A and B are shown apart, each in its own frame.
Chain A
Amino acid sequence: MTLENEYAILTNHLTKKFKDFIAVNDLDLKVKKGEIYGLLGPNGAGKTTIIKMLASIRNPTKGKASVLGEEIPDGNIASKIGYMPQETGIYLGLTVDQNMKFYGRIFNLKREEIEKREDELLKFVDLEDWKYEMVENLSGGMKHRVSLACTLIHQPELLFLDEPTVGVDPELRESFWKYFQQLKENGATILITTHYMDEARHCDRIGFIQRGKLIAEDTPANLLKNSGKDSLEDAFLLFSRKEDKDLKEVMA
């Protein structure tokens, strides 16, 4: 099995600079096909920029990345990926139905196919009764669910979910993770960012991101074991301090 067959995402020294600010620093990331990989880190750590580069929304400054076996940003992968932005990315002035039809159309789905997927997905996110409601009238959590449904309309192989659970209540967050597990069982690969450390335990593997760098990576259980801590939050802080110390030593 070649690397491209085994991994959905492979990056090589991937770097993104905004003027003098290095948002993503020399990142080597490997995400296996069919796994849920969580990028964990504080706000501003560079998680969103990583996702945006992999979804071909931003071009890398340096380095390479292959997504589903194709080089980005030139590769032809757009129809195979689903991107859920942090800001929900749905049209407030349209109904739920109109949003889903729009996102279905841009992936060239046939009318009957869209109808079928729409019904499945609205059931999945429990919004069947809200199909013809204007999105602006929905609550924050409902908007997130519509956003997720729109992301899934074309049955993407690879999902980029940028902080999908921000501002979502704990109950809904649990059901979101159930959805993600279901998607995984159906064969999808998921790259998800979050700064809620506790929910990251649902991931198959986790990468801790700080100042644009991958400072540790493993399964949640191994991260806890190796750090000797009880929570992922404490584990993150430990790795983060270690990284700071290393940096100081290098600087000295």
Chain B
Amino acid sequence: MKFYRIMAISRRVFRDVANDKRSLAMLFLAPIFAMCVFGVAFSGDVENVNVIIVNQDQGLTSPLGGTTYLSTEIINNLNTTTLNIQNMTNLDEARLKVENGQSSAVIIFPEDFSKNAFLKSQNQSYPLNAEIIIEGDDSITNIKNAILKSVNQAISDTLTENGITPAIKVTSDPIYGKDAEFIDFFVPGILAFVVYLLTTILTLITFVGERSNGTLERVLASPVTEGEVVTGYAITFSTFGVLQVALLMIIAIMVFNIMVVGNVILAFFAVAILAIACQALGILLSSLAKRPEQAIQFFPFVILPVFLLSGVFWPVQAIPYWLRPFSYIVPPTYAVDACRAVMLKGWGLDKIWPDLLALLIFALFFLFLAVWTLKRGKK
């Protein structure tokens, strides 16, 4: 070993990176970006969960006159950062909102809630009848837990303020996702995420190859049009996307025993459109890279924002409020949402069409841009 040779190699590698301004920028920007993404992702609490309160509590009228409503006090103590509270009187309408996905849960205070609570606090032998019923969408465990935690905290705060110790039970009667665990929430998201990731990266690398091998030019010198190239890629990658998802779903069902209550064909459909959008995105990105090494530098920027924003690992409600609009500009968000709705809630086309429409718009937009960049390459 000779020091001068080691140093020559070290210096050469250093110069190689330093000569490529973009490599240099990526070397320092990517870690900052990664740290910020993970920092933001893990620091977020679930916030702004839409819940509906149906308060049927008649209160407790004391012999001296005057009625006390324990329910109102609990409601006042609910954390309004976590929960976005709407009050309704009609229980059926409230349930419908949860079924339609406009709200995450209905929190019901039954008629004799206050009465049962006070009776129990005065006489320990009285049965535990005071209950708060949560009828919610339990398919997203983080949100279910956040609602439960808020309600329990409000109960405990109220009781401390009043200096009484009645037991109040919180009963959960899920509208969706009964017995759902984190894995059930996680798997549909992962399906969409995997397809996004592999399709985008595979097209990016393949297309950089097409550009540098001269195959793209040879094809474009033939009667083949730019639109035909992009559409041909779209057909292949959407087929791959569906096959990937089918395979993953089989494993998820057989090995992890995940919950599937809906028609998986719809989930395949969502993922196929996502794959079309992603391959077009890959072609778009390929126009920015001259060499495969440069394409690899895009990976952190392809992976991390979607990791954070699309709701795969955390529901969108768990990311900071100011970041949420960005969730809706990454296509996988809609595919994650659609897969979850189909698999965990059994939703049909009538309810997931907005997700599919959004995916379709993204797909068409990216396809158009991909064709445009190919045409612009002639300039």
For chain A, the count of residues having a C-beta within 8 Å of the partner chain is 27
Contact A85 B218, CB 8 Å, known A78-B223, A90-B213: yes
Stretch with Cβ within 8 A of B (4 or more), from A7-15, A26-34, A52-60 = A52-60
Indicate with 1 or 0, residue by residue over B200-221, a CB within 8 angstroms of chain A CB atoms. 0000000000001111011111
Known contacts A87-B213, A88-B214, A90-B215: A59-B221 contact under CB 8 Å: no
Interface of A is mostly: loop
What chain B residues lie within 8 Å of A90 (beta carbons)?
213, 215
A81 to B223, CA, bound (A): 10
CB distance from A82 to the nearest CB of B (A): 8
Instruction: Determine whether the beta carbon of A107 is less than 8 Å from that of B222.
Output: yes
User: Which residues of chain B from 214 to 272 have a CB within 8 Å of any chain A CB?
Assistant: 214-215, 217-224
- Distance A87 CA – B218 CA, assembled complex (angstroms): 10
CA distance A117 to B219 in the complex (A): 19
Q: How far is the CB of B6 from chain A (nearest CB, A)?
A: 34
Q: Is the CB of B215 within 8 A of A57?
A: no
Q: Is the CB of B15 closer than 8 A to any CB of chain A? A: no
B2 within 8 A of A: no
Interface residues of B in 170-228 (CB under 8 A from A): 212-215, 217-224
Q: How far is the CB of B114 from chain A (nearest CB, A)?
A: 73
Q: Known: A88-B214, A89-B215. Contact between A57 and B378, CB under 8 A?
A: yes
B contact residues, range: 10 to 19
Tell me whether A91 and B222 are in contact (CB under 8 A).
Answer: no
Cα separation A57 to B223 with both chains bound (whole Å): 11
Task: Please give me the residue from chain B that is nearest to A82 by CB atom.
Answer: B221
Question: Which residue of chain A is the closest to B222 with respect to CB atoms?
Answer: A106
Q: Which of A58, A79, A91, A107 meets B215, CB within 8 Å?
A: A91
Chain A, Cβ-Cβ closest to B232? A106
Nearest opposing residue in chain A for B206, CB measure: A93
**Apart from A79-B223, A83-B218, A151-B218, what 8 extra A-B contacts exist at CB < 8 Å?**
A59-B378, A83-B217, A85-B218, A89-B213, A89-B218, A91-B213, A91-B215, A108-B223
5 closest A-B pairs (Cβ-Cβ)? A85-B214, A87-B214, A89-B214, A89-B218, A83-B221
Using a CB–CB cutoff of 8 Å, the interface residues on chain B facing chain A are 212-215, 217-224, 378-379
